[in-house]
Amino acid sequence: MSTATMTRSLHVDRGAAEDLGHLFALWQEQRDPRAREALVKRFMPLTRSLARRYDRSSEPFEDLLQVASVGLLKALDRFDPHRGHSFPSFAVPTILGEMRRYFRDCGWSVHVPRGDQERALKVRDAQETLTNEHGHAPTVSQLSQYLELETEQVIDALQATQAYESLSLDAPRPGGEDDTMTFGDGMGSEDERYELVELDATLVAAIRHIPARERAMLHMRFVEDLTQTEIAARLKISQMQVSRLLRRSLDQLRALTRDASEV
């Protein structure tokens, strides 16, 4: 094969199908690396587009693209142009197969992928930065612009924080000394403590199971009507943490009162 023919097949669009067949022949029969390079170049947009389909996963895009490219190389080796199928119809399953294998090998079934955790921490930090800048909590689109992430990635990060104990600075201390306080104690208000006596016994018992700081948090949100950002500032923790702890305490309260009513 002369260099002149090679050059023609790279630069002339006319008769593209024949040229492709020619390139495949060059690569598969003669292992001509230039032919492979030309084919890779030709199908890189396809590969990139497939990698982008998994881009909202927890893996960095560069890693995804690399795995997809390995799939492309395998497809270039195995494609048989004489069977009458188009290369994309053969390459797409091969490339996707490579990516799916990669996800399995990377232990995606492990509880929470590390990429998700890191992203959640980034979102948390950005939330604080933007809150300080604007004086109120940011929206998801502000966060996604600031972090150059997809809206969906930010939404997922907000959900993910619910799952991470590692973000917590205040693991609950059931049975700890301060846990025997009634709900109002942390607030320093006699009236609130008094009112508690009037409460349904089940609920009182349930609230006693909630760690003191989370009880205080519930009080700030539901009785004092502070926003989560205001609570976060008061307790010197992040709003995400407030969100998570509030959700957990409410879940706990519901579970405790549910159990009691089922007895």
Q: Nearer to another protein by C-beta: 32 or 170?
A: 170
Q: What is the x/- site pattern for another protein, positions 75-114, by CB under 8 A?
A: -------------xx--xx--xx--x--xx---xx---x-
Rg (CA), the chain: 29
| Dihedral angle of Cα 39, 44, 46, 49, to the nearest 10 degrees | 170
Q: Does 262 bind another protein (CB under 8 A)?
A: no
CB 218 within 8 A of CB 228: no
End-to-end CA distance of the chain: 85
Taking CB under 8 A as the criterion, the residue among 127, 167, 172, 216 binding another protein is 127
CB 142 within 8 A of CB 135: no
CB 42 within 8 A of CB 88: no
CB 174, min distance to another protein, A? 19
Q: Could you give the CA distance from residue 181 to residue 159 in angstroms, rounded to a whole number?
A: 31
What would the two tokens of residue 146 be? 């600031």
Taking CB under 8 A as the criterion, the residue among 6, 227, 234, 260 binding another protein is 227
Residues that bind another protein (CB under 8 A): 45-46, 49-50, 53-54, 56-57, 88-89, 92-93, 96-97, 100, 103-104, 108-109, 113, 127, 136-141, 143, 151-152, 154-156, 158-159, 183-184, 192, 195-196, 199-200, 203-204, 207, 218-219, 221-223, 225, 227-229, 239-240, 242-243, 246-247, 250-251, 253-254
